[in-house]
Amino acid sequence: MEDSRQRAAELFRWLVAPVAPGEFLGRHWERAPLLVRRGDPGYYAGLFSTADFDAALRGGEVHFGTHLDVTSYAEGVRETHNPSGRALPAVVWDFYQNGCSLRLLSPQAFSPTVWHFLSILQEHFGSMAGANTYLTPPGTQGFAPHYDDIEAFVLQLEGKKHWRVYSPRTDAEVLPQFSSANLTQAELGEPMLETVLEAGDLLYFPRGFIHQGDCLPDAHSLHITVSSYQRNSWGDFLEKLLPAALQMALEEDVEYRQGLPMDYLGYMGVTNSDAADARRTAFMGKVQSLIKKLVNYAPIDAAVDQRAKSFLHDCLPPVLTQSEKAQSMYGFPARWQDGGPCDVDILITKDTQVRLLRHGIIRLCNEEAGVMLYYTTENSRVYHKEEPKFLEIDPEYTDSIEFLLSSYPNHVSVDTLPCETLEDKISLATLLFEKGILTTKKPLVQV
């Protein structure tokens, strides 16, 4: 599929099928759990398995606490049993044999398939897509009841698991900003949904819905929880926007810089909240007026760009197909051969056909230091292991960046980029190609 946006939409459609995406968004997203029984144990085949879990351990890079948690929950007590150091297979599987659950954090760092899956899905959500995998022995439970601060998609990969889901107990727990502490069974009430997930099934629940899962005596369970929309609410956006709006108002409007009334401490404050005083009415009216006027100074688009910048830092790097590698910097055939470097020069001309590797991999931001182009192609599979990646762009190049975005997924010739000179066009295209942001219609060097 040529357009990365369509590919992301199709993957989401597959994730919630046979429920249509529109129905899911209208009836379930941030509203109510969804249970999908597919009767197809192979639906998620190839995504992640116990063999992949074992391979990750044998790779030698999994460490207790950082990548793997060993947990148990019995008689109302939730415990973590992490030793220090590397998670060696013999130690990990001994914990499992003794009834402990294993949570592999960020499996995308170890599984190319999970990395590919999440890297596509994040473009659909416009928000970081993360994951953890959970392997639970028969007849055990690894975690106490709790609610999360993310939208959760539970994909049952192997075996089966008994789930109970409970509605938020108060209005304050509806779509919470933060996850709960561990809860006791006495705090829960009756579940609004109780089910046994089997391989191929899906369970979705919004943030704030309390949940717990336990294994039946006759089967182990392996599931992956895909998450998104952590701290991605209107309130989180306003936390960034309002201070910027106030700063701009202070700089541009003298009314915000005028002093408070000399006697306001005498009639304002909780002590005076019940007093009938015209000065209180005037003070409250003034505050409301200033708050209402604040919207005129709110740099809404700039604040959105700053959130986009944060999102791009959160993003997984794209996974390239073989043809994309051949048409990008990552497949460029520069090498050492016959006693010296060979095929080193990037020969982009005015006739070279180029396009963005993906639609969602760049963002232009106007900042105090200049125009910055943030991008994801050099991100790490490990969350925030790298600093945000950006290029400082000559303001004259912004039209060309916007042209590449609007042209996607079509290829355009370098000569059509709206730069002043041909030299500028080739220079910009070469820079973006070197960062993996642009691909060419045909490989630049035929090997």
| Rounded Cα–Cα distance for residues 404 and 191 (Å) | 51
Whether 217 shows a pLDDT value over 70: the answer reads yes
Whether 447 shows a pLDDT value over 60: the answer reads no
Q: 249 and 294 in contact (C-beta within 8 Å)?
A: yes
**Helix, strand, coil shares, percent, the chain, to 5:** 35, 25, 40
Whether 330 shows a pLDDT value over 70: the answer reads yes
Which of 17-26, 218-227, 323-332, 432-441 bottoms out in mean pLDDT, i.e. has the lowest? 323-332
Q: What percent of the chain has pLDDT over 70?
A: 100
Q: According to the model, what pLDDT value does residue 446 have?
A: 61
Res. 238 pLDDT band, cuts 50 70 90:
very high
Note the pTM of the prediction, 2 decimals: 0.94
Instruction: Dump pLDDT digits (tens) for 32-85.
Output: 999 999 999 999 999 999 999 999 999 999 999 999 999 999 999 999 999 999
Q: Please, what is the average pLDDT of the chain?
A: 96
Scanning the structure block, which residue is given the tokens 């408070």? Answer: 260
Instruction: Dump pLDDT digits (tens) for 252-303.
Output: 999 999 999 999 999 999 999 999 999 999 999 999 999 999 999 999 999 9
Instruction: Dump pLDDT digits (tens) for 87-138.
Output: 999 999 999 999 999 999 999 999 999 999 999 999 999 999 999 999 999 9
Strand partners, 132: 105, 225
Q: According to the model, what pLDDT value does residue 1 have?
A: 78
Residue 354: which of 447, 445, 444 has the closest Cα?
A: 444
Instruction: Dump pLDDT digits (tens) for 9-46.
Output: 999 999 999 999 999 999 999 999 999 999 999 999 99
| Residue 427: other Cβ atoms inside 10 A | 15
Instruction: Dump pLDDT digits (tens) for 367-403.
Output: 999 999 999 999 999 999 999 999 999 999 999 999 9
Q: According to the model, what pLDDT value does residue 445 have?
A: 75
Res. 423 pLDDT band, cuts 50 70 90:
very high
- The Cα-based distances of 355 to 56, 289, 416, 417 in angstroms read 35, 49, 12, 11
Strands in 353-356's sheet, in edge-to-edge order, are: 412-413, 353-356, 438-440
φ, ψ of residue 155 in degrees (nearest 5): -105, 110
* Helix 50-58 / helix 89-97 crossing angle, nearest 10 deg: 140
